[in-house]
Amino acid sequence: MQELISDISVDVEAARLLTWRVADLIDRGLDFATAASQAKLYASEAAVRAANNALQVFGGYGYIDEYPVGKLVRDARVMTLYEGTSQIQKLVIGRALTGVSAF
């Protein structure tokens, strides 16, 4: 249980820091496009991992509709799709790091 909860906490803190980094870049008037893609990619994938870990904490009860955790799994998964899928975020980040557009 503690491993699952510990992993969730690390993912949450890392996602929060990446998001705050984007906000800081915006506040300072700096380019934030790559940082935004990195934050969106990490935070949305972290949300999926966190929701899956939360479901695992509940065991079988996590899967059935009587508890809200199953809904959290589905709600988290869509975040890796809208506003640019994870694959597209990686293409955006890869283009910024290499100068090569693989779109």
User: Catalytic positions, please?
Assistant: 83
Of 32-91, binders to ligand FAD (CB under 6 A) are 78, 81-83, 85, 87-88, 91
Closest CA to 22 of 34, 11, 6: 34
Nearer to ligand FAD, 9 or 85 (CB): 85
**Contact of 32 with 22, CB cutoff 8 Å:** yes
DSSP 60-79: GGGTSTTSTHHHHHHHHHHT
Binding residues for ligand FAD, total number by CB under 6 A = 9
The CB-nearest residue to ligand FAD is 85
Which positions touch ligand FAD (CB under 6 A)? 78, 81-83, 85, 87-88, 91, 103
